[in-house]
Chain A
């Protein structure tokens, strides 16, 4: 079964750090681009960033709102992707989803995890 499972969410104070993980199974993780998307309480979806695959030198792209504070990495040997979040702000409070971009669907995000909640509060 194709599956993504996020973990690592929790409560953190403003200015703090948190590292989210996304564990993949059921597909060739190393072939795919992988994304992080977040959703603040009661709000819409916001793209956070993505990690490309090895043929594309694992390049990363980020939304302007997180650039310089968040860093995406991946470990293909562990079928996992990570989101290191530093200098967290209250507005980073959201459910964070990881998602797979599927080439056959022209890089549409066709598999999503269940999400992990991050709360930034003092």
Chain B
């Protein structure tokens, strides 16, 4: 059972917008930055979003992050076939004194 709760899966057709939620608590998301990672099949994770809503260089602006209170979300606009991957939210948990990941959300492009 992950400290951060994500839906196991979501899907969309090419060009659609999909959103992934990440629910936490006041010991993690509310008081810490949220990060999002993309993991393509058979590869290492890749940093997609940092500091809640910032994109590292090279990440397309189709990806956007937001945070409000104890929840965060990742949006993918203009879904593309190459976006089919697992997405994980992550943050620091003050009670656990450690990083925590969400359980991951598998995005399928129909």
Q: Does residue A31 face the partner (Cβ distance < 8 Å to B)?
A: no
Q: Does residue A114 face the partner (Cβ distance < 8 Å to B)?
A: yes
Whether A46 and B101, one on each chain, are in contact in the complex, defined by CB atoms closer than 8 angstroms, is: yes
Known: A45-B88, A61-B98. A105 touches B51 (CB 8 A): yes
Whether B2 and A44, one on each chain, are in contact in the complex, defined by CB atoms closer than 8 angstroms, is: yes
Interface residues of B in 75-90 (CB under 8 A from A): 86, 88, 90
Q: Does residue B102 face the partner (Cβ distance < 8 Å to A)?
A: yes
Whether A97 and B101, one on each chain, are in contact in the complex, defined by CB atoms closer than 8 angstroms, is: no
Contacts of B90 in A (CB 8 A): 45, 47
Known: A44-B2, A47-B101. A105 touches B37 (CB 8 A): no
Known: A44-B88, A44-B104, A45-B88. A108 touches B98 (CB 8 A): no
Whether A62 and B101, one on each chain, are in contact in the complex, defined by CB atoms closer than 8 angstroms, is: no
Contacts of A110 in B (CB 8 A): 47, 50, 56
Contacts of A108 in B (CB 8 A): 35, 47, 50-51, 56
Give the nearest-CB partner of B104 in chain A. Answer: A44
Bound-state Cα–Cα, A107 to B99, Å: 11
Q: In the complex, which range does the number of interface residues on chain A fall in?
A: 20 to 34
Whether A112 and B46, one on each chain, are in contact in the complex, defined by CB atoms closer than 8 angstroms, is: yes
Whether A44 and B35, one on each chain, are in contact in the complex, defined by CB atoms closer than 8 angstroms, is: no
Can you report 28 residue pairs joining A to B where beta carbons are below 8 Å apart? A35-B99, A37-B101, A44-B2, A44-B86, A44-B88, A44-B102, A44-B103, A45-B104, A47-B100, A50-B99, A62-B98, A64-B96, A97-B45, A99-B45, A105-B47, A105-B51, A106-B33, A106-B51, A108-B35, A108-B47, A108-B50, A108-B56, A109-B37, A110-B56, A112-B44, A113-B44, A114-B44, A115-B44
**Can you list the 6 inter-chain pairs with the closest CB atoms, starting with the nearest?**
A108-B50, A112-B44, A47-B99, A44-B104, A105-B50, A106-B51
B positions within 8 Å CB-CB of A: 2, 33, 35, 37, 39, 44-47, 50-51, 54, 56, 86, 88, 90, 96-104
| 18 other A-B residue contacts (CB within 8 Å) besides A44-B88, A44-B104 | A44-B2, A44-B103, A45-B101, A47-B90, A47-B98, A50-B99, A62-B98, A63-B96, A63-B98, A97-B45, A105-B47, A105-B50, A106-B33, A106-B50, A108-B51, A110-B47, A110-B56, A113-B44
